[in-house]
Amino acid sequence: MAGQHLITLDPLTLQEIRQLLRNKATLALSPAVEQALARSHAYLHQHLAAGPAPVYGINTGFGALCNTPVSAEHLETLQRNLVMSHACGTGDEVPAEVVKLMLFLKVQSLAYGYSGVQPATVHRLLAFFNRYVYPIVYQQGSLGASGDLAPLAHLCLPLLGMGEVRFQEFKLKGHEILDIFSWEPIRLQAKEGLALLNGTQLMTAYGALVCLRARQISAAADVVAALSLEAFDGLSTPFLPQIHRVRPHEGQVKTAARVLGLLSGSELQTRPKAQVQDPYSFRCVPQVHGASLDALAYAEKVFTTEINSVTDNPNIFPEEGLILSGGNFHGQPLALALDFLSIALAEWGSISERRTFQLLSGQRGLPQFLIQEPGLNSGFMIPQYTAASIVSQNKQLCTPASVDSIVSSNGQEDHVSMGANGAVKAYQVVQNVERILAIELMAAVQALEFRRPLQTSPALEKVVAAYRKVVAPLEQDRVLQPDIEKSIRFIQDFPFEDLMA
């Protein structure tokens, strides 16, 4: 997908989204999409010209004002007012990678031709994506029900020459970015403001990115757990297939096979063991990691469906001669998946911190806190504090957002998903789990130093060698914050899945 990526009517996968973002592709519309856009736009305006029958949000007010008619000469003003009035976001800025994906997903949803927008509006969104123009969007303001109204209003204000954007490290006004590229402001036609603002693109962008990072975490967690098991002189018996054959949850079976494969060829596994069992944080890795892996698979299915969906309202069906008002903007499917995914991610982190704690405890021939001369040196004492703090924060963040609701728009919008809040929390949880795993990785590789000259498996030794190129062994106390940051990047970037192919 390097070079140009053609937006088509074919379904997309999350992996294609990953490649699209990594390869900095230039977007263009396929001929089929151009035709679908033109057909939908033409049908809408033919319908409006045929008579004054009210159609929600096209020639009526919005929300609780849905029964208030708007005359034909005011339709452009109606849509412009909609975008301006809904730009009420606040709080921290949405990260640039999320905004970039929001732009793409808004184009993708409009491209199916069920929204009635003029092609020029879609082309301008494409131009923002292709020119790395990222509107400033705020994290707070969406109830996740009539779509992500406030965030999408901020995403689309620059189309009109309003709002703000980030471009080449500069923060610019919307009209300034139009001047730079000699673009005219978009003049919104009937329904366009509604099509731009109704939609789940904030929730979906966050969720898709969290799913992609969680897939990396799932592989990293298995590899780091295997390293910790080796460093703790643990048993491979709990990973044998016979155990999992009689409780065949898919994620559990897969995790056990992964770890067992990673241990293949280890000298540490061939030496006699004094213990009969290991603590749960080692012995139950298949059951805990596996359950999170199954939850991730569910979330991936939900977000794969959503990135291939139309989520504005009303929807236009030219072939059937229908304009239908419904609720495809409601974020409940995403809200539930985001809460479930956050909990699953937090469990990868929770069990990781327990393994770190065990490695520092001075058991099985390892020195306390994995340092020579403990007492004079604190070693890895405080990284475990840090991991414990982050685990506790994750518990707070994993309080479900989707069980909440609050009435808005004078009672018209009387049940909301709170999926946007769930999305922002999930993004924080995924970052937190990367940090927790990074600390376990630091401890596990340090603990292996005390097992030398014995070797772990060839696969795990490859990880250790790569890691030692970026983080040196701890021989006496030093400032460890830089090591933690390097370890986080290692967790994010190392191709862990290749070890288990």
Same domain, 192 and 210: no
Has residue 63 been placed in a domain?
yes
Same domain, 184 and 221: no
Name the percent of the chain in helix, strand, coil, to the closest 5. 60, 5, 35
Same domain, 74 and 216: no
Q: What is the pLDDT of residue 57?
A: 65
d(CA 424, CA 334): 12
pTM over 0.85: yes
- Ramachandran angles phi, psi of 173, nearest 5°: -75, 155
Same domain, 83 and 13: yes
Rg (CA), the chain: 26
d(CA 432, CA 430): 5
Same domain, 212 and 180: no
Has residue 185 been placed in a domain?
yes
Has residue 343 been placed in a domain?
yes
d(CA 330, CA 311): 8
- Any residues with CB less than 8 A from the CB of 333 and at least 6 apart, and which? 302, 305, 306
CA dihedral of residues 333, 336, 340, 346 (deg, nearest 10): 120
Tell me which DSSP letter residue 171 carries.
E
Q: What is the pLDDT of residue 54?
A: 72
- Ramachandran angles phi, psi of 143, nearest 5°: -90, -5
Q: What are the angstrom distances between the C-alpha of 412 and each of 58, 145, 424?
A: 17, 11, 26
Q: What DSSP letter does each residue of 146-158 carry, written as one string?
A: S-SHHHHHHHHGG
Say which CATH number the domain at 31 has. Answer: 1.10.275.10
Which amino acids are annotated catalytic?
56
Amino acid at 4: Q
Picking from 142, 176, 199, the residue at the C-terminal end of a domain is: 199
Has residue 258 been placed in a domain?
yes
Same domain, 215 and 146: no
Picking from 199, 231, 254, the residue at the C-terminal end of a domain is: 199
Same domain, 154 and 221: no
d(CA 4, CA 449): 48
Picking from 144, 179, 199, the residue at the C-terminal end of a domain is: 199
Beta pairing partners, 317: 322
Tell me which DSSP letter residue 182 carries.
T
Same domain, 151 and 177: yes
Has residue 443 been placed in a domain?
yes
Has residue 319 been placed in a domain?
no
Domain that holds residue 132: 4-199
Token pair listed for 424? 């922002």
Of 84, 45, 76, the C-alpha closest to 189 is: 76
Q: What is the pLDDT of residue 447?
A: 98
Q: What is the pLDDT of residue 411?
A: 78
Same domain, 180 and 267: no
pLDDT digit string (tens) for the chain, length 501 residues: 457 889 999 999 999 999 998 888 899 999 999 999 999 999 998 988 887 677 766 777 666 666 677 677 777 888 999 999 999 999 999 999 999 999 999 999 999 999 999 999 999 999 999 999 999 999 999 999 988 999 999 999 999 999 999 999 999 999 999 999 999 999 999 899 999 999 999 999 999 999 999 999 999 999 999 999 999 999 999 999 999 999 999 999 999 999 999 999 999 999 999 899 999 999 999 999 999 999 999 999 999 999 999 999 999 999 999 999 999 999 999 999 999 999 999 999 999 999 999 999 999 999 999 999 999 999 999 999 999 999 999 999 999 999 999 988 877 888 999 999 999 999 999 999 999 999 999 999 999 999 999 999 999 999 999 999 999 999 999 999 999 999 999 999 999 999 987
Same domain, 67 and 143: yes
Same domain, 237 and 113: no
Tell me which DSSP letter residue 26 carries.
E
- Any residues with CB less than 8 A from the CB of 205 and at least 6 apart, and which? 98, 99, 101, 102, 105
Same domain, 332 and 379: yes
Say which CATH number the domain at 242 has. Answer: 1.20.200.10
Residue bearing tokens 């106390």: 477
Q: What are the angstrom distances between the C-alpha of 300 and each of 307, 366, 473?
A: 11, 40, 38
The total of structural domains in the chain comes to 2
